[in-house]
Structure 1
Amino acid sequence: MACFCFLVDQKRKIRRSKPAAGTCSRCRSGASVAEMITQTRFCYVPFYCKSWKAIMCTFCGAILKSYR
């Protein structure tokens, strides 16, 4: 009998951000252009890291548009 247990998690971090023109469609707050990093870990060992840009809300944190 074999038992497989996989623990995978994914974290998003904002490296830096700057204000952008426009508002959020959900809460009508301001928007910003953020440089994001996504780290995927398997059993607490990072094995994939990706950098990308996104336009996100400064108040609610919703991602309005992503550039991958």
Structure 2
Amino acid sequence: MNNFWTNIFRYPRFFISSLLGLILVIITPFKSLFKTSSLRVFSILFILLGIIALSNVLINMLGL
């Protein structure tokens, strides 16, 4: 029974490390975009546009 609880307590640590690994794998290709100045500006504008669009959708969905 002790082995069962140690395995249960390991799952959150596994989940966090898997999630961090996934985020790093997703972010790594974008690092090359920031090396070129024209692509850097385009990337920042694209990210800002995505954040504005997401906030606009959430505001309209929630009726705020």
> Normalization by structure 1: what TM-score?
0.21
Higher helix share: 2
TM-score with structure 2 length normalisation?
0.22
- Which structure would you say has the larger RCO, counting Cα contacts within 8 Å and 6 or more residues apart? 1
More strand, by proportion: 1
Q: Which structure's CA Rg is the greater one?
A: 2
